Amino acid sequence: MPIYVLGNFFIYSIINAFTPGPGNILALNTVSNYGVKKGKPLFGGIFLGYYVVQIICAVFVFGVSAFLPNMLGIMKYIGAAYILWLAIHIALSKPTADDTEKSASFIKGFLLQFVNIKIYLFGITALTGYITDYSTSLWVLLLFEIIIATIGTTATLTWIGMGVLIQKTYQKHYRIINLVLALTLSECVYSMLKY
């Protein structure tokens, strides 16, 4: 696998993981309102749910590659369209004040990830856009999904660790931050379709 492909995989993964999504926003709101200690069960649920969903994505992509190999090429374009949509959405989005969660339970964090479309699309797009051209081995797919889940967990930990500071900084500079992220994602789309 060429280094530039791995580089673009990591750029896409880091940007997607660190941008606001349901898990990151819920973690930020929970730590801002309840603190780290009271939020630990919820954070544990978010982290475990992330890994379970990414394993499901790896098995799905493996199944598609084994039984419907021509579908991977189509999924690559669907993934590119999703990344482009994400880039446009990021460029145009503004910070919002989300309602705070009333409880910080493990099950709430865990179940959130099963309805979090962002991470399903994230995992499937990363594999079909960058990895399956070089390997469709289940073990390789699982490895990259574990990498994605680890990057996602690191991103959520960053949101937790930065707490209100990230929220204030993002609200103050969201236009420039969003534009840089959107342009970087657009480059990922270009490189995905180029090769």
Can you give the pLDDT of all 195 residues of the chain as single tens digits? 889 889 999 999 998 898 877 788 778 777 766 778 888 898 999 999 999 999 999 999 998 877 877 776 676 777 677 767 767 876 786 655 554 445 578 988 888 787 777 888 889 989 988 999 899 999 999 999 999 999 999 999 998 887 657 666 766 777 887 787 677 767 767 766 765
pLDDT of residue 48: 96
pLDDT of residue 194: 66
pLDDT of residue 185: 67
CA–CA separation, 72 and 26 (whole Å): 33
CA–CA separation, 138 and 127 (whole Å): 11
pLDDT of residue 100: 45
Is residue 165 within 8 A of residue 25, CB to CB? The reply is no
CA–CA separation, 38 and 58 (whole Å): 33
> For the chain, what are the domain ranges?
3-194
Q: Residue 82: CB partners within 8 Å, gap ≥ 6? A: 121, 125
pLDDT of residue 101: 44
- Closest of 16, 165, 169, 34 to residue 87, by C-alpha: 16
> Both tokens of residue 8?
């673009």
